[in-house]
Structures are given as C-alpha cells and as structure tokens.
Amino acid sequence: MNKTLLASMIAAALSVAPIAQANDMQTELSLLKQRIAQLESQLSDTMAVQAEHQKSASVDSDNPITISGSAEFLATGSELPDGSSESDLDVDSVELTIDAALNQYMALSTTLKYEDDGEDQDFFVDEAIVTISSDDTPWSLVAGRTAVPFAVVNGNAWTDPLTYDLTDNTDDLLYVGFNQGIFSAGGYAFKGQSDESNINNLGLNVALAFDNGFAIGAGYLNNIRNTDPLDADSLTDDDKVGASRINLSYELDALALSAEYLQTESFKELAGRPEITVWHLSADYATNIFGAPGNLSLGYSESDDADLITDAGDNLFAQSRLTLGASRELHENAELIVEYVREEDYANDDTDTLNLVLSTSF
C-alpha cells in the first residue's frame, strides 16, 4: 500500500512538473521582453540626446570652418583693329574662401582674391560678410564688404557682359532681404566712391521665380555714379544719377535663357545724350562634350550713348560684345573653357579674341 501511494505521488509530480516549467518559462520570457523594451527605450532616448548634441556641436564645435578655393589659368590671343595681334599667358585669378558657422543664426564668409590686372599682385579682401538668418523666418541680413547687387549677370560665358562693366563695384554695405514662396525682395545701403560723410547710396531689388522655370526681376539704384566704372574724368558733376534694371530668365531642361536691360538717369555733363542704356541676352545649353558634362554658351550685349564716358581720353565701354563658348569638365573640380569674343568699339572697329581657360576649384 505504501508502494502504491508512493508511485501515485511520483506520477502526479511528473505530470505537474512540465506545466510548472512552462509557466515559469512564459514568466521569464515576459520579463525579458519587458526588459528589452525598457532598454530599447533608454537607447532611443540616449541616441536622441546624442543626435541633438552632435547637431549643436556641428555649429559650436572647435572647428566649424570650411575652406574652398579656385584658380583660373588663361591663354589668350587677340587680333586688333589695326591688323596687329597680341597673345598672353596668365594666372588670371585665384580665390581663397573661408566660411565659418558662428552659431545657428550667424555665418561668416571671407574671400581673398588675386587678379591679374597689371597692378598690385598681392591677395586682397574681395568679400567679407556676416549673414544673419533663420529657417523660422523669411528675413535675412547681410553686412560687410561684397558686390553691390544691382546688375543680374546670368549665363555661363567666361567673359562678362557689358551690363557687368557698367555696374561692377565692391563696397561696404548693409543688405536686408525677404524671401518667401515665389517672391523675394531686398533693400541695401552702401558707402560708394564719393567723399560724402553720410551713407545715402541706396538700392532695391524685387523678383518673382515661378515653378515653371520663368523668373522676372527689377531693381533701382539711386546713385550709379558711385560705382567703380563711372569714376571717370569725363564725369565731373557730383549730382546723383539713378539707374533702373529689369531682367528675365527661363529654364527648360538643359536650356537656360536670360535677358537684362539697364538704363541710367541723366548725366548733366553729357550734353545731348545724357542717358546711358545697356542690355544683354544669353543662352546656355548643358550637354555632353566628348563624353563628359559640358555647356555651350552664347551671349550678346550692347551699350548706347556710352561713348561720351571717357577716362584719360579713352572710352571705358565697348559698343557691343559677342561671346561664343564651350566648356567641358575634366574629371572632378576642373573645367576647360574655349571662348571666342568679338568686341566692337564706338568707332566701329572690331577686336577678335580667343580665350583658353583652365578653371580649377576645391
């Protein structure tokens, strides 16, 4: 009888043991899942904190600086109106740009530049600006030394159009911009070349850029004679001379078209033809050239009544300028440009120039 009872108790214990083991395993699995979920949550929080720290560190780190640069090497040959010819080899320009993110709202950019202009051969400060902006607002502010943003030079021609010749100027300025949707606008004040004790040289730009590739803009400058090209001995009056601009552009796939028209108000000392106008048309087509990405460009610009502006007896502006060019990438960070330029002066004499440019950047 004792043996029978013992056997029954053993059998019962054996039948209950798997159930108890199964219950214990499910409990352990449940606890393990809870622990894994807790660890995943902690890891997610830790990674979020690290990502935010890295984002902040990318702005506030000890080395928020990027350095870039470019250099252009030029071989050129020209046929002059008298039948003679000229040729030259130049390091045409070298630029070194340093950009620094000061914080999440402010960025600093400084560009040192060398140009082969026959004068000093040292680097000079071509641009030094601080930009204040935020993703949360359409407003921005730029202060420092940079190009006066009056002309809008579109197109990929290596030689600048006559619109650039009329308005080229780098100066100390303050620019306030607004950009939202298709609309953008900006107003600016700059020092100018005069000896005035007050900063009263002002400009205004407005533009609309549509999703279909069409854009239109306009600008006004209250005193264009304070730009470098109009610092001529034939202009002796100190009165302000305003200028206005309208520009159009259109992009469709690989084709880009642009047009610009500039007109000054009256220069009193230019009797009979006191107003100067300059306009420019350009077309660019991106395509493969000999198996590499490249671009074909065509540009034409013309000035009217600019022959009266002289310095030391020489005309400062051509009457027309035609450019025809092709560029091709040379692997990464290098480009070869071939360009033909025909320039006609106000005596109807032509100068033909062929430019071969190796443009490099990093």
What residue ranges do the domains of the chain occupy? 1-62, 65-361
Beta strands 170-180 and 255-264, pairing class: unpaired
Question: CA 165 from chain center: how many Å?
Answer: 19
Number of CB atoms found within 10 A of residue 60's CB: 12
At 48 the pLDDT is 53
> CB–CB of 245/261 below 8 Å?
yes
Q: What are the C-alpha distances in Å from 153 to residues 46, 72, 110?
A: 50, 19, 22
At 29 the pLDDT is 56
| SS3 call for 125 | strand
The residue behind tokens 């850029």 is 209
Question: CA 50 from chain center: how many Å?
Answer: 33
From first to last of its 362 residues, the chain has per-residue pLDDT tens of 444 444 444 444 444 444 444 455 565 556 655 655 555 555 555 455 455 544 444 444 555 899 999 999 999 999 999 889 999 999 999 999 999 999 999 999 999 999 887 666 678 999 999 999 999 999 999 999 999 999 898 889 999 999 998 888 888 999 999 999 999 999 999 987 665 667 888 999 999 999 999 999 999 999 888 776 676 666 767 778 899 999 999 999 999 999 999 999 988 877 777 899 999 999 999 999 999 999 999 999 999 988 888 777 778 889 999 999 999 999 899 999 999 999 999 999 999 999 999 999 99
The whole-angstrom separation of Cα 55 and Cα 245 is: 42
Strand ranges inside 210-346, DSSP E: 214-221, 243-252, 255-264, 277-289, 292-304, 310-311, 314-315, 320-329, 334-344
Count of alpha carbons within 13 angstroms of residue 13, beta-carbon side: 6
Q: Which CATH superfamily is domain 65-361 in?
A: Porin (2.40.160.10)
At 91 the pLDDT is 93
| SS3 call for 317 | coil
- H-helix or E-strand spanning residue 9: helix 2-60
At 19 the pLDDT is 46
Q: Is the pTM here over 0.95, yes or no?
A: no
At 23 the pLDDT is 53
At 6 the pLDDT is 40
